[in-house]
Structure 1
Amino acid sequence: MSAGGPTTAVLVLEDGRIFRGRAYGAVGETFGEAVFSTGMTGYQETLTDPSYDRQIVVATAPQIGNTGWNDEDDESGRIWVSGYVVRDPARVPSNWRARRSLDEELERQGVVGISGIDTRALTRHLRERGSMRAGVFSGEAIAAEAELLERVQAQPHMKGASLYEEVATREAYVVPAIGEKRFTVAAIDLGIKGMTPHRMAERGIEVHVLPATASA
């Protein structure tokens, strides 16, 4: 936040629809496919879910960030979303497990976001017209609307993108069974969430997580 007040931010969709709000998280610019997430809770798991790579995620829940950010609930080793869009960010996080605010974690990991926009209208727009390329711009990244739209439309489409190469593990690793071992399973990582092999381990399964390039 600047000394003079909140930093202005804009969300630009490839069809020309523009939403204006305030910077949330890192200040700058980002591009991705605009999609929405309807979860009422679990924003930390959503943000660290590898399946959201290269996507700008719109939170449909009106208030986000109430429980802050902890060091236990990540689904992977980093935030994967390209950008984050919220309506009403919590001013003060409140949870005994929180280590910092969501805003601080987004800024720490360089994730550009926007707050204070009508996410209900944005979600309806995406539901009616489908997911589309978008950009979030804040601070010095803001330019004339025509220029921002042109930059969004110059971005590659998601269709045909090979994302597993970005999100999959490079090295195999083992998640041991919890308690008595009953089975051994090989899981090819195409963007697996950390909780998946953990839940299998709770059921006595030793999980060998392999790179996406692994052969039979």
Structure 2
Amino acid sequence: MTTSTRGAVKTPAVLVLEDGRIFRGRAYGAVGATFGEAVFSTGMTGYQETLTDPSYHRQVVVMTAPHVGNTGVNDEDMESKKIWVSGYVVRDPARVPSNWRSRRTLDDELAAQGVVGISGIDTRALTRHLRERGAMRVGIFSGDTIQDDAALLARVQEAPEMTGADLSAEVATKEAYVVPAIGERKFTVAAVDLGIKGM
């Protein structure tokens, strides 16, 4: 994945599926190129939890809900300490978040963590395509990474497949940590964190 600073709303972006289907839109989050397995999420809420869920590592998440980012990003609803998705696809991102817990916009958070996204495409058509054809490799390209369609498709088809990938080694914690008890401590439990969700 290659990324640069946050893209202006009008920066062109292209989403290319490994079977040759192409969607054109605008950059959302970081500008650059990213690859992963295309999957979709039908949740109307909870996008922050989805983004920070380690089980979405190396996946490009397509949101079927038309409006995303309405409540911004806060510091309490994280499933882990970072965003794990490889890319993010939305139809109509919120221009201004409206929630008393919001600390920053979703666009800014994606850019700050180097997550390349695309907005302004028909996410329901893309979801139907994935539902009928199955999960597949995908690339999102924006800014200077956009080339002719054939070159972009070749890059997607050269990206590694998910089959056989050892992702638990990539999402596992590198060091031990302690989660303090809420209320009276009754037991001591040890767990191997290979991508535990925080909530």
Distance (whole Å) between structure 2 residues aligned to residue 18 and residue 184 of structure 1:
51
Unaligned stretches of 5+ residues in structure 1: 196-216
1:171-186 equivalences in 2 (<5 Å): 171-186=175-190
The letter for the 2-side match of 1:161 is: A
Q: Paired residue for 2:197? A: 193
Bigger relative CO (Cα 8 Å, ≥ 6 apart): 2
Asked whether 1:11 is paired with 2:41, we answer no
* Among candidates 28, 50, 61, match of residue 65 of structure 2: 61
TM-superposition CA deviations, 1:3-52 (whole Å, max 9, x none): xx701101000000000111101111000000001111011111011111
Q: TM-score, normalised by structure 2?
A: 0.94
Which residue does the alignment assign to 2:125?
121
Q: Deviation at 1:146?
A: 0.3
- The within-5 A match list for 1:35-184 is 35-184=39-188
Q: Which residue of 1 aligns with 2:3?
A: none
1:173 partner SS: coil
Gaps spanning 5+ residues in structure 2: where? 1-6
CA–CA distance in structure 1, aligned partners of residues 81 and 107 of structure 2: 18
Aligned Cα root-mean-square deviation (Å): 1.1
> In the alignment, which residue of structure 1 is the partner of 2:36?
32
Q: Distance in 2 between matches of 1:158 and 1:100?
A: 32
**Number of paired residues?**
193
Q: Which runs of 4+ in 1 moved over 4 A?
A: none
SS in 2 for 1:21: strand
CA distance in 2, matches of 1:110, 1:144: 24
